[in-house]
Amino acid sequence: MFKQVLFAQWLTSRLALAVLSVLAFALPLVSVFYGSDLATTGRGGLGEWLLVTDRVAQVLPFFAVLVGALLGILAWSPDLAGKHVYALSLPVPRAVFVALRFGAGSALALLPSAALAAGAAVASLAVRLPPGVRAYPLEISARFTLATLTAYAIIFALASASRRGQLAIIGAICAAILLDLVLLALGASFSVTAETLNALTTWPGPLSILVGRWALFDV
Amino acid sequence: MKGLARDRALLSRAESLLAWSVAKDSTLLAARRVAWRARLAEAGGLVLVVPSVVPAENARRALDSAQSLLREFGGIPEAFPRSLVIYNWEARDTGVVLASPVLSARTRVQFPLTPPAFGVGWTVNGWTVAASVLQAYRASLDDDWRTWLPTDFGLGGWERSIAWQAYRELTESPWSVGVRCVSGEPAGCRLWLGIDRDSAPYTTRYSAAELRTYLSSSSQEWHTRRSDRGVACLQGEDAACVEYAIHEQRPIQTPAAPVGRRSLLRAVHALHGNTAEARALADSVGPLGDRLARAAGISEDSLVREWRYWVLTRGGRPRERSFAAEAVPVLLAAGLLLFAATRSRG
């Protein structure tokens, strides 16, 4: 059953996966834009190059969220289009079907991650690094995979929720923003959204994988 | 006769004008004395003496702002500002306002007023008040700190522009110790920052060739050529370069410029809290590197590694956790979301 679900999801997502995989392979290579032999580059050159790698690093978490979100939406798009008739007609409980869909989407998300890993490996091998600068291709690839999985899981869960559930989530977010505006008007320094975001992005929050060092080449 | 009467009239007129001018000057002087008479402003233990031309509300706001800045910096003991009287030298008759034994026993520290701008008279700026407290504290520290600390060593946080400046200063440093530091060598970082008590700083922190390059640069050559030792240095004598540098104290003993040195204090503040910064500044035992390391509770090499990473990543922290520790929350969250998705009715 899993193979069928995987194949069906592949058919829906293959174009997006192809484009995202190409981008994922290319992104780490941008880090070596300034040339391959940094061990003998001048002082100013090293500083500029570290800046470029840092700028590329800032793009990676957003790209991971984009990949995960897109795959999460595409996982459910055929069911949303067909009003879940196909899913409901299958001889499997819904919970199993949802788990199969999730698994299939997670497996497909490994493709852009593998492309990024390949790009990071090529970039690491192409550059002669000066002392004090190291390459982290494995760590970046693993971080990208986990960040993609996080975004995918969130969007997947949202897309699979009932209309009432989705409205409840949107309502909760709007209520938090409204509360913040009231607190701001009252002169309070506490912010519900800021504290929530802080809790989510500080370890052990689930979004903490998105913050931190994403540089392929780091000091 | 006619002429004499006219002369008398003119003299009388002149005397009248003179009396009028003297009276006017006296009135103006009296008004000026009142306007510039010293006035006391106090808030949270900080005492400010300003001329009366400065609005009272402005003086109070400046004190509040200065206290916020000093609190944010955190490197100065709370009791220190309370041992000062911060006064502007333009204020007259300060003896009257400072007559009490408590205030007269305090150390006097000067600060400048902000000149009148379009539509606004003389005012006090909280930053200048805080800066004067900072300088007074710096003057109370021992020789090592006084020599090493830059003029501005902590007020106002660490904005992006200063972080970039520190980054460029380190990555574009013309000194070999700076290059060694960027390469990851802690000893190079210590020499660049000048935090070890070197008995011969010009020998350990600079090479003769670097000194020669510096002393022959366009901004320095004219000075260098005025000295026999300078000329000998330019002609290739290494010992002369070191002697000249020691005698003229050029370049400064520490290769790191003010922003670079400030970045070390700021890194201690950011990574170990302002109490660590305060402890380090209050410490007077051993070289500066030891003091900072003791205050942070780590070794000196670890401290400079942390600082190097912080500067080169403009505020980043070294990788603290294992990747497994980072993966666990993600996998847990994914599992929970999958569980929620399987339970939803869709």
Same domain, B201 and B296: yes
Q: What is the 3-state secondary structure (H, E, C) of chain B?
A: CHHHHHHHHHHHHHHHHHHHHHHHHHHHHHHHHHHCEEEEEEECCEEEEEECCCCHHHHHHHHHHHHHHHHHHCCCCCCCHHHEEEECCCCECHHHHCCCHHHHCCEEEECCCECCECCECCECCHHHHHHHHHHHHHHHCCHHHHHHCCCCCCCCCCCHHHHHHHHHHHHCCCCHHHHHHHCCCHHHHHHHHCCCCCCCHHHHCCCHHHHHHHHCCCCCHHHHCCCHHHHHHHCCCHHHHHHHHHHHCCCCCCCCCHHHHHHHHHHHHHHHCHHHHHHHHHCCCCCHHHHHHHHHCCCHHHHHHHHHHHHHCCCCCCCCCCHHHHHHHHHHHHHHHHHHHHHCCC
Give tens-digit pLDDT for B64-117: 999 999 998 888 998 999 999 999 988 888 877 777 887 888 899 999 998 888
Instruction: Output the pTM of the full model.
Output: 0.79
Q: What is the pLDDT of residue A87?
A: 66
Across the interface, whether the CB atoms of A50 and B172 are under 8 A apart is answered: no
- Check: CB of residue B4 under 8 Å from CB of residue B11: no
B323 to chain A: which residues are within 8 Å by CB? 139, 142-143
Q: Which residues of chain B does A47 touch, with a Cβ-Cβ cutoff of 8 Å? A: 167-168, 171-172
pLDDT exceeds 60 at position A37: no
Look at residue B289 in the predicted model and tell me its pLDDT: 96
Query: Is some CB atom of chain A closer than 8 A to the CB atom of B68?
Result: no
**For chain A, what are the domain ranges?**
2-163+213-218
B160 touches chain A (CB under 8 A): no
Work out how many domains chain B is built from and give that number.
2
Question: Which band of pLDDT confidence, cut at 50, 70 and 90, is reported for residue A134?
Answer: confident
Residues B271 and B202 placed together within one structural domain of the fold: yes
Distance CA B160, CA B263 (A): 12
Query: B342 near A95, Cβ under 8 Å?
Result: yes
- Half-sphere exposure (Cβ direction) of B226: Cα atoms closer than 13 Å: 5
Co-location of B119 and B173 in the same domain:
no
Burial of A15 (0-12, 13-18, 19+ CB in 10 A): exposed
Confidence of residue A2 (pLDDT cuts 50, 70, 90): confident
Share of chain A above pLDDT 90, in %: 35
Does B91 share its domain with B198?
A: no
* Shortest distance, CA A32 to any CA of chain B (angstroms): 18
- A209: DSSP letter: G
Rounded to 10 degrees, the C-alpha dihedral B330/B331/B332/B333 comes to 50
Q: Which domain holds residue B177?
A: 160-206+251-312
pLDDT in tens, B152-189: 888 877 888 899 899 999 998 999 999 999 988 999 99
Q: Does B164 touch chain A (CB under 8 A)?
A: no
Q: Are residues B125 and B202 in the same domain?
A: no
Q: How far apart are CA A71 and CA B286, in angstroms?
A: 59
If asked whether residues B90 and B195 sit together in one domain, one would say no
Same domain, B196 and B89: no
Confidence grade of residue A52 (pLDDT, cut at 50, 70, 90):
confident
DSSP helix/strand/coil, A127? coil
Q: Indicate the average pLDDT of chain A.
A: 86
CB pair distance less than 8 Å for A219 and B313: yes
CB contact (8 A) between residue B341 and residue A143? no
Residues of B in contact with A131 (CB under 8 A): 183-185
Lowest mean pLDDT among A40-44, A102-106, B128-132: A40-44
Collapsed DSSP state (helix, strand, coil) of residue A31: coil
- A173: tokens are 């977010």
Residue B321 lies in a domain: no
pLDDT band for position B207 (50/70/90)? Answer: very high
* Close Cβ partners of A38 (under 8 Å, ≥ 6 residues apart): A45, A46, A49, A127, A128, A129, A130, A133
Q: What average pLDDT does the segment B307-317 reach?
A: 88
Condensed to tens digits (0 to 9), the pLDDT of residues B2-43 reads: 788 888 888 999 988 888 888 888 888 888 888 888 888 998
Domain-located, residue B18:
no
Per-residue model confidence as pLDDT tens digits over A98-117: 888 899 999 999 999 999 99
Under a CB-based contact definition with an 8 Å cutoff, are residues B221 and B172 in contact?
Answer: no
**Is B270 contained in some domain?**
yes
pLDDT value for A163: 82
Domain assignment of residue B7, yes or no: no
- Res. B345: pLDDT tops 70: no
CA atoms within 13 A on the CB side of A196: 9
Alpha helix (H) ranges present in chain A?
2-30, 43-81, 85-89, 94-126, 137-160, 163-185, 192-201
Q: Which amino acid is at A93?
A: P
Residues B188, B268 within the same domain: yes
Average pLDDT over residues A169-189: 89
Mutate to test the interface with A, among B160, B168, B171 (most CBs of A within 10 A): B171
| pLDDT value at residue B32 | 80
Q: Is residue B323 part of a domain?
A: no
Residue A108, classed as helix, strand or coil, is helix
Do the chains contact at A150 and B333, CB–CB below 8 Å?
yes
How high is the pLDDT of residue A55?
83
Tell me the shortest Cα–Cα distance from B326 to chain A, in angstroms: 7
Question: What's the pLDDT score for residue A40?
Answer: 58
Mutate to test the interface with A, among B182, B305, B332 (most CBs of A within 10 A): B182
CB-based contact, B171 to chain A, within 8 Å? yes
Which of B91, B110, B140 marks a domain boundary? Answer: B140
CB contact under 8 A, A98 and B319: no
Note the ipTM here: 0.79
Q: What is the pLDDT of residue B129?
A: 94
CA distance A147 to chain B (A): 8
Within a domain: B114: yes
Q: Answer yes or no: is B15 within a domain.
A: no
Mean pLDDT of chain B: 90
B223 part of a folded domain? no
Please check the confidence at residue B291 and state whether its pLDDT lies above 90.
yes
Q: In chain A, which residues have their Cβ closer than 8 Å to the Cβ of B327?
A: 142, 146, 209
pLDDT-based confidence at B343, cuts 50/70/90?
confident
B310 touches chain A (CB under 8 A): no
Selection from B252, B160, B156, B161 nearest residue B201 by Cα: B252
User: In the structure, what pLDDT confidence band is assigned to residue A41 with cuts at 50, 70 and 90?
Assistant: low
- Report residue A218: phi and psi, to 5°: -140, 160
Same domain, B121 and B190: no
Q: Is A132 within 8 Å of B182 when comparing Cβ atoms?
A: yes
pLDDT, position B24: 81
Q: For residues A17 and A4, which has the higher predicted lDDT (pLDDT)?
A: A17
State pLDDT tens for residues A78-101. Answer: 777 776 666 667 777 888 888 888
